[in-house]
Amino acid sequence: MKTEAKKRHAVLADEIRRHDHAYYVLAEPSISDPDYDRLYRELLDLEEAHPELCAADSPSQRVGGKPVSEFPEHRHAQPMMSLDNTYSFDELAEFLKRVEKRLPEAELDWTIEPKIDGLAVSLRYENGTLVVGATRGDGASGDDITGNLKTIRSLPLRLPAKVPAVLEVRGEVFMRRAGFAKLNEKRKAEGEEPFANPRNAAAGSLKMLDPKMVAERPLGIILYGLGEVNGEMPVTQKEVVDWLKQLGLPTAGKIWTGQSHADLVAAINELDIARHDFDYETDGAVIKLNDLSLREQCGATSKAPRWAIAYKYAAEQAETVLKAITIQVGRTGALTPVAELEPVLIAGSTVARATLHNEEEIQRKDIRVGDTVVIEKAGEIIPAVVEVVLEKRPKKATAFVLNKECPECKSKAAKDEGDVVWRCPNPDCAAQVRGRLEHFCARGAMDIEGGGEVLVRQLVGSGLALNVGELYKLALAEVAGLERMAEKSAQNFIDGLEASKQRDLWRLVFGLGILHVGAGVAKALCRRYATMAELLDASEEELVAIDDVGEVIAKSVHFWFGDPQNRALIEVLRKAGLNFESSIVTSSEAAGPLAGKGLVLTGTLPNLKRHEAAACIEAAGGKVIGTVSKKTDYVVAGEAAGSKLAKAEKLSVPVIDESELLRLCGE
How many C-beta atoms lie closer than 10 Å to residue 567's C-beta? Answer: 12
> pLDDT > 70: what percent of the chain?
92
Q: Cα–chain-centroid distance for residue 603?
A: 29
DSSP string of 170-190, one letter each residue: EEEEEE-HHHHHHHHHHHHHT
**What sign does the dihedral 532-534-540-544 (CA atoms) show?**
negative
Say yes or no: 539 and 567 in one domain.
yes
pLDDT reading at 208 higher than 60: yes
Q: Among 665, 610, 603, 607, which Cα is nearest to 637's? A: 603
Residue 378 confidence (pLDDT): 56
- Tell me: do 141 and 180 sit in the same domain: yes
Rounded-to-integer distance, Cα 222 and Cα 440, Å: 34
pLDDT of amino acid 616: 82
Please count the residues of the chain: 667
Question: Are residue 536 and residue 602 in the same domain, yes or no?
Answer: no
Mean pLDDT, rounded, for 210-217: 82
pLDDT of residue 299: 86
Q: In 3D, which of 411, 497, 386 has the Cα closest to residue 449?
A: 497
Residues 486, 363 share a domain: no
In a domain, 71, yes or no: no
What are 73's strand-pairing partners? 143
Assign residue 463 the CATH number of its domain.
1.10.150.20
Query: Cα angle at 82 between 78 and 85, to 5 degrees?
Result: 150
Residue 582 lies in a domain: no
CA gyration radius for the chain?
Answer: 27
Strand 634-637 and strand 598-602: the pairing is parallel
Higher pLDDT, 351 or 441: 441
Amino acid at the residue 22: A
Going edge to edge, which strands form the sheet with 308-312? 85-86, 308-312, 282-289, 110-116, 256-258
Q: How far apart are CA 131 and CA 57, in angstroms?
A: 9
- Looking up residue 635, the CATH number of its domain turns out to be 3.40.50.10190
In sequence order, what are the beta bridge partners of 309? 287
Shortest CA distance to 222 belongs to which of 243, 195, 241?
Answer: 241
Domain with residue 267: its CATH number is 3.30.470.30
Mean pLDDT score, 99-109: 92
CA 571 to CA 467: how far, in whole Å? 13
Residue 411 falls inside a structural domain: no
CA 183/CA 216 separation, integer angstroms: 10
In a domain, 414, yes or no: no
- pLDDT, one tens digit per residue, over 159-207 is 987 899 999 999 999 998 888 888 888 776 666 667 767 887 888 888 8
Whether residue 91 sits in one domain with residue 49: no
Same domain, 29 and 155: no
- Predicted confidence at residue 589, as pLDDT, reads 46
Residue ending a domain, among 312, 334, 362, is 312
pLDDT in tens, 252-304: 988 999 999 999 999 999 999 898 889 898 889 999 999 999 998 888 876 78
* Interval 609-622 mean pLDDT: 77
Structural domains of the chain, count: 5
Q: Is 564 contained in some domain?
A: yes
Rounded CA-CA distance 222/422 in Å is: 44
How far is it, in rounded angstroms, from Cα 195 to Cα 376? 18
Any domain includes 280: yes
**Single residue among 260, 279, 312 that ends a domain in this structure:** 312
- Please report, as a single letter, which amino acid is at residue 4: E
- Choose the catalytic residue: 2, 6, 115, 644: 115
Lowest mean per-residue pLDDT among 320-324, 356-360, 422-426, 436-440: 356-360
The H or E element that residue 308 is part of is: strand 308-312
- To which H or E segment does residue 224 belong? strand 219-230
Question: How high is the pLDDT of residue 380?
Answer: 45
pLDDT for residue 480 is more than 70 = yes
Measure the CA–CA gap between 508 and 573, rounded to whole angstroms: 10
The residues, ordered by sequence, that sit 6+ positions from 286 with a Cβ below 8 Å of its Cβ are 83, 112, 113, 114, 115, 224, 308, 309, 310, 311
218 lies in the same domain as 304: yes
Distance of alpha carbon 627 from alpha carbon 548, whole angstroms: 10
The CA-atom distances, in angstroms, between 151 and each of 154, 290, 320 are: 9, 32, 41
Q: Which distant-in-sequence residues (6+ apart) come within 8 Å of 596 by Cβ?
A: 588, 590, 621, 622
Give the integer Cα–Cα distance in Å for 394 and 155.
55
The DSSP annotation for 469-514 comes to HHHTT--HHHHHTSTT--HHHHHHHHHHHHHHTTS-HHHHHHHTT-
Q: How high does pLDDT run on average in the chain?
A: 86
- Burial class from Cβ neighbours inside 10 Å (0-12, 13-18, 19+) for residue 263 reads middle
Q: Determine the Cα–Cα distance for residues 239 and 224; give it in Å rounded to an integer.
A: 11
pLDDT-derived band of residue 548, with 50, 70 and 90 as boundaries? confident
Domain match, 166 and 231 both: yes
Q: What is the pLDDT of residue 213?
A: 82
DSSP annotation string for 388-409: E-GGG--TT-EE----SB-TTT
- In angstroms, the CA 176 to CA 282 distance is 11
Domain termination residue (choose one: 253, 281, 312) = 312
For the ranges 350-354, 577-581, 640-644, which has the lowest average pLDDT?
Answer: 640-644
Angle of CA points 146, 124, 154, to nearest 5°: 65
Residue 117 contacts residue 380 (beta carbons within 8 Å): yes
Residue 334 within any structural domain of the chain: yes
Specify whether 115 is catalytic: yes
What pLDDT, in 10s, does the model give residues 23-74? Answer: 655 556 677 766 776 787 788 788 878 888 877 677 776 655 555 556 888 8
Span of 128-137, 315-324, 381-390, 609-618 with lowest mean pLDDT: 609-618
Residue 359 domain boundaries: 317-399
Question: Per-residue DSSP letters for 542-556?
Answer: HHHTSTT--HHHHHH
- Report, as an integer, the average pLDDT of 347-364: 84
Question: Which residues are CB-contacts of 576 (< 8 A; sequence separation ≥ 6)?
Answer: 469, 472, 473, 501
CA dihedral defined by 87, 88, 90, 96, rounded to 10 degrees?
50
| CATH code for position 371 | 2.40.50.140
What H or E segment, with its residue span, contains residue 441? helix 430-441
The pLDDT value given to residue 33: 63
- At a CB cut-off of 8 Å and minimum separation 6, what does 464 contact? 458, 470, 474, 478, 479
Q: Does 106 share its domain with 191?
A: yes
Helix 33-49, helix 2-20: angle, nearest 10: 150
What pLDDT, on the 0 to 100 scale, is given for residue 587?
Answer: 58
Q: Is 657 contained in some domain?
A: yes
Q: Per-residue confidence at 120, pLDDT binned at 50, 70, 90?
A: very high
The mean pLDDT of 533-561, rounded to a whole number, is: 88
Mean pLDDT of 229-248: 93
CB 232 within 8 A of CB 240: no
- Residue 440: phi and psi, rounded to 5, are -60, -40
Quick one: 468 and 518 in the same domain?
Answer: yes
Same domain, 214 and 351: no
Structural contact between residues 173 and 136, judged by C-beta atoms closer than 8 angstroms: no
pLDDT (mean) for 322-338? 92
- CA distances to 26, 109, 260, 645 from 100, rounded to whole Å, are 38, 11, 11, 21
Residues 127 and 239 occupy one common structural domain: yes
Residue 468 has pLDDT above 90, yes or no: yes
Question: 284, 311 in Cβ contact below 8 A?
Answer: yes
